[in-house]
Amino acid sequence: MPLISDPTTRLIFVLGLGAGASSLAGRALDPLVGVLSGEFAVAAATVALLTTAYALPYALVQPILGPIGDALGKRRVIRVCLVVLTLALVASAFAPTLAALAVLRVLAGAASGGVFPLAIASVGDNVPLERRQVALSRLLVAGLSGSIAGGALSALLEPFIGWRGVMLLCAAACLASLLVLREESPPPAARRFNLAEALNRYRSILGLAAARRLYMAVFIEGALLFGVFPFLAPLFAQRGQGGTLEAGFAIAGYALGGFVFAALAPVLLRRLGQSGTIMLGGVVCGGGLAMLAVAPLAWIGIGACLVLGTGFYMIHSAIQTRVTEVAPQSRGSAVSLHACSFFLGQSVGPVLMGAGWATVGPVAALLASAAGMVLLAVWLSRAGRRGAAGGR
């Protein structure tokens, strides 16, 4: 990467390519629930569990990959995970049954779990705290680019290349990011992985009240928001507003909200501070979910997802920043526990939304999520004002 002289910019560019590719793989099937439901002749709610099949192993590998990244080098682990992710995506393109696809999504989710979280931890290792939230917001832009492509491009390209072609496209993106990362300077020398030391680090981190609060918050955040995406296509179809294409644009709109936040982050943090930005994020998030719940037209629902994404990243970026400082000597482990909690929440989300859809209907389920996000923001904002994020 000789054309990029600034070390921080180069670091974010290189890690961002991997983050974007893994996000592309994670979101690509969300707008295609209806397509897969038709091909495999199963209910949409069953196909939606592919999100859980991806998110749950993503979460469960974090306690393992975090300390391995601390010991062996974060970028070294990212490279290995990109290799496995690429192979899993290629195999997914040839899955003969939904069950086979689900197994391969489990493998892809586990491999993807070693990319973005360790990229966040690597930024934490290399960027000073006063510049870190802005740097992380730029890394998020890379991940968001993948989410946008995963939502919009899969919906646009599926009629021409099929969902199997979409999987091959995701594999190609992962391979390209791997090749760029291999050209970067060698990772630091590895040290021996010590299981007892890793367990002691986790025990120390979980002994911090601030850490437990952050992990609980990000679990709730994942559960409230990420159960929505697999149900967007059925929601639009139920209202006679479209289906797969509209869902793809809505997911892309949500990711574009992250770009809006990244552009506004310096001004918001300077004028409102971190706690004020979190509070505003809760209001914006709640408003986006409420708009989606009652949207009379598809373009309003897509716009609601843009609002939702903007509010979500106001909250999530602050949580990520706090996590990178909660245990500076064990940053990889701390960030991995954060990702574990977040993706456990995401794995629960489709189950909760499916249950809400079946019992109280989509409108009430979405409004309940809106209220939950506002309450979560109030809690985190008050905790931040007390300075609880840095203490026991």
**In angstroms, rounded to a whole number, what is the distance separating the alpha carbons of residues 294 and 363?**
7
Question: Which pLDDT band, with edges at 50, 70 and 90, does 50 fall under?
Answer: very high
Split into its structural domains, the chain has a count of: 1
- Per-residue pLDDT tens over the stretch 237-280: 999 999 888 988 998 888 888 889 888 888 998 899 889 999 99
- Per-residue pLDDT tens over the stretch 159-183: 999 999 999 999 999 999 998 887 6
For residue 127, being part of any structural domain is answered with: yes
Note down the domain range covering 227: 7-184+194-390
| pLDDT score for 388 | 42
Task: Please give the helix or strand (H or E) that residue 319 lies within, else none.
Answer: helix 298-326
**Span 193-208, average pLDDT:** 79
For residue 224, being part of any structural domain is answered with: yes
For residue 36, being part of any structural domain is answered with: yes
Least confident of 106-110, 295-299, 349-353: 349-353
Q: b/e per residue, 121-135, with b = 16+ CB within 10 A? A: bbbbeebeeeebbeb
Check whether 3 has a pLDDT greater than 70. Answer: no
The mean predicted confidence, pLDDT, of the chain is: 86
3-state secondary structure 233-265: HHHHHHCCCCCHHHHHHHHHHHHHHHHHHHHHH
**In angstroms, rounded to a whole number, what is the distance separating the alpha carbons of residues 275 and 317?**
12
For residue 1, being part of any structural domain is answered with: no
Higher-pLDDT residue of 87 and 210 is 87
CATH number for the domain spanning 258: value is 1.20.1250.20
- Per-residue pLDDT tens over the stretch 291-311: 999 999 999 999 999 999 999
Q: What pTM value is reported for the model?
A: 0.75
For residue 106, being part of any structural domain is answered with: yes
CA angle (46, 109, 102) in 5-degree steps? 30
- Return the structure tokens found at 291: 């708009």
The closest alpha carbon to 235, from 247, 221, 217, belongs to 247
| pLDDT score for 370 | 96
Cα distances from 28 to residues 31, 79, 145, 153, 390, in angstroms, run 7, 21, 12, 8, 37
For residue 53, being part of any structural domain is answered with: yes
Look at residue 197 and give its three-state secondary structure.
Answer: helix
